[in-house]
Amino acid sequence: MPDASPTIPTSWTQWREARATRVTKPQGDLALIETRWLTDGSIVSTEQALAGQPSTVTVTALTRKNIDNGSRENGIRLWDAASEAIRSFDHIDVFPYAPEWVIEATFTPAEDGRTIPFEHLRDNVGATRDLVVPGDITFTRDGVDYTLSAFDDDGTLLLVFGDPTNGVSTYGSGRFLFVQHTDDPSRVILDFNQSFVPPCGFSIQYNCPLPPRQNRFTVPVTAGEKNPVFTGGYSVH
């Protein structure tokens, strides 16, 4: 009897290897040990931030817009290349490759400046922030019409989606997926085999966007990453 299992693309294997490398690098998701916001407008020098820290720790600066008044806030992040999370990391659990979850969809640009509210956990508190949505992503699957909203992540469309597997076999708050463009501007590819655990699944020091209502599937999306796996009883949360 011929083997009925799907052929696993080399690109998917390479993607999984790249993900493991990315989350474990010195400033990868598992290395983030502190996010500190300087709400008084002050600036902390590198020397001040690293005072008392081991040599494996580095610091970067970041800014954000105050969600209430729109003012600029400065912050720093501390990264530890030898963090407990990195030392305890084993692998990222995934679903078997599922070719049926590679979906061709239609992309329709939106009017400039169109936004939708994204709920997210910010400093472990629920909040809502309006994010620009470049367009609508539409497709039909099993007789159901979907219209999804992805936001612009530094020039790339990032889809934040949820489905019934969340909190059961996959990360509780949902998963992320980068939308792949094609030569046709009106066509995009959603390869859910490359859906991934958001950074907040590797460190509590990240904010965590939650899927908007239109991005929540009623059927299980049995493709892509499930959860990071650690040894020694380590837990992110």
pLDDT, one tens digit per residue, over 95-117 is 999 999 999 999 999 888 788 87
Phi/psi class of residue 223: alpha, beta or left (left: φ > 0; alpha: ψ in -120 to 50)? beta
**Mean pLDDT, residues 3-10 taken together:** 72
Residue-level pLDDT at 5: 60
**Mean pLDDT, residues 7-26 taken together:** 94
Q: Give CA separation, 217 vs 35, 108, 195, 225, in Å.
A: 32, 20, 14, 16
CB-based contact 77:28 (threshold 8 Å): no
Instruction: Provide the residue type at 163 as one letter.
Output: D
142 has a pLDDT exceeding 70:
yes
**Mean pLDDT, residues 199-213 taken together:** 91
> Which pLDDT band, with edges at 50, 70 and 90, does 67 fall under?
low
28 has a pLDDT exceeding 60:
yes
Residue-level pLDDT at 107: 95
pLDDT digits (tens, 9 = 90+) for 72-96: 888 999 999 999 999 999 999 999 9
184 has a pLDDT exceeding 80:
yes
54 has a pLDDT exceeding 80:
yes
Residue-level pLDDT at 3: 46
Residue-level pLDDT at 1: 38
Neighbours of 149 (CB within 10 A): 24
134 has a pLDDT exceeding 50:
yes
Strands 89-94 and 225-230: antiparallel
**Mean pLDDT, residues 130-134 taken together:** 83
Measured on CA atoms in the order 77, 207, 176, 237, is the torsion positive or negative?
positive
Percent of the chain exceeding pLDDT 70 equals 92
Residue-level pLDDT at 155: 82
Per the confidence metrics, is the pTM higher than 0.75? yes
Whole-number average pLDDT of the chain: 90
